[in-house]
Structure 1
Amino acid sequence: MRAFIRVMKALSDPGRVKILKMLEHKSMCVCEIQSALKLAQPTVSKHLKTLEDAGLVTCRKQGLWVNYHLNETRENPYAAALLENLGDWLGDDPEVRGLLERLPHIRREDICRKS
């Protein structure tokens, strides 16, 4: 039951749901997620840790960046079931749709160059 509760708690925050929807489309680093959601870096990192602990996302270091993506290992059956259905959910939500439309314009190279 713990694994189920962990997944449900991870989904209890709109920011974390938005992160999952974005990661459906591409792997992203913290700075890209931060820019897309207009949240502080510690908040984004905390959200990612919660999603990772629930088995929903994983990360991989690539050069300067740590890329987050949806977990493909499907070790947690509840996380796996959720991720299988995620693509069919919230496609008609205006906030999610707007976020996904902005994704192609959010590039880490541009974000880090401004810093």
Structure 2
Amino acid sequence: MDKNYETNAKIFKALSDGSRLRIIDILSCGEKCACDILENFEFTQPTLSHHMKVLMECGLVKSRKEGLWSYYSLDTTNSNKLVLFLMDLITNTEDDCICRYDNKSKTCNK
């Protein structure tokens, strides 16, 4: 599995905000209109737009326009990739443990 640390670090940075985590939780129930998401917060529409932009740029959320309204949903493919990355990161086996190998020679450091 390609770990792509930099890409995943950007995603975790996006998720380091409590409001964005809450937005992900809301979207886990299915597609929502921006106005429906906004009802769950005490901030303004421009602030919501900023949060949605961050979540879309890192690939966790996708959007579609319908008339004047924007609808948001989780990008389940990218969300699942993130979960798999985290699981792989914290459950490495002896065969693929990063700390066991020297980057140049790929020999065991033990």
Superposition TM-score tier, normalisation by shorter sequence:
0.5 to 0.7
Give unmatched runs, 5+ long, in structure 1: 83-115
Q: Which has the higher helix share?
A: 1
Asked if structure 1 preserves the Cα contact closer than 8 Å seen for 2:14 and 2:54, the reply is yes
Q: CA RMSD in A?
A: 2.3
In the alignment, the residues of structure 2 paired with residue 45 and residue 11 of structure 1 have an alpha-carbon distance, to the nearest angstrom, of 15
1:50 counterpart residue number: 54
Runs of 4+ in 1 over 4 A off after TM superposition: 79-82
Q: Does 1:28 align with 2:10?
A: no
Q: Greater Rg, structure 1 or structure 2?
A: 2
Give unmatched runs, 5+ long, in structure 2: 87-110
Aligned residue pairs, count = 82
Q: Report the AA paired with residue 70 of structure 1.
A: L
RCO greater where, 1 or 2, for CA within 8 Å and sep 6 or more? 1
Asked if structure 1 preserves the Cα contact closer than 8 Å seen for 2:60 and 2:79, the reply is no
Q: SS of 2:63's equivalent? A: strand
In the alignment, the residues of structure 2 paired with residue 81 and residue 25 of structure 1 have an alpha-carbon distance, to the nearest angstrom, of 23
Q: Report the AA paired with residue 33 of structure 2.
A: C
Question: 1:67 is matched with which residue: 68, 71, 75?
Answer: 71
Q: Report the AA paired with residue 69 of structure 1.
A: S
In the alignment, the residues of structure 1 paired with residue 47 and residue 54 of structure 2 have an alpha-carbon distance, to the nearest angstrom, of 11
If the length of structure 1 is used for normalisation, what is the TM-score?
0.62
In the alignment, the residues of structure 2 paired with residue 10 and residue 64 of structure 1 have an alpha-carbon distance, to the nearest angstrom, of 26
In the alignment, the residues of structure 1 paired with residue 84 and residue 66 of structure 2 have an alpha-carbon distance, to the nearest angstrom, of 25
In the alignment, the residues of structure 1 paired with residue 85 and residue 30 of structure 2 have an alpha-carbon distance, to the nearest angstrom, of 20
1:13 counterpart residue number: 17
Asked if structure 2 preserves the Cα contact closer than 8 Å seen for 1:54 and 1:79, the reply is no
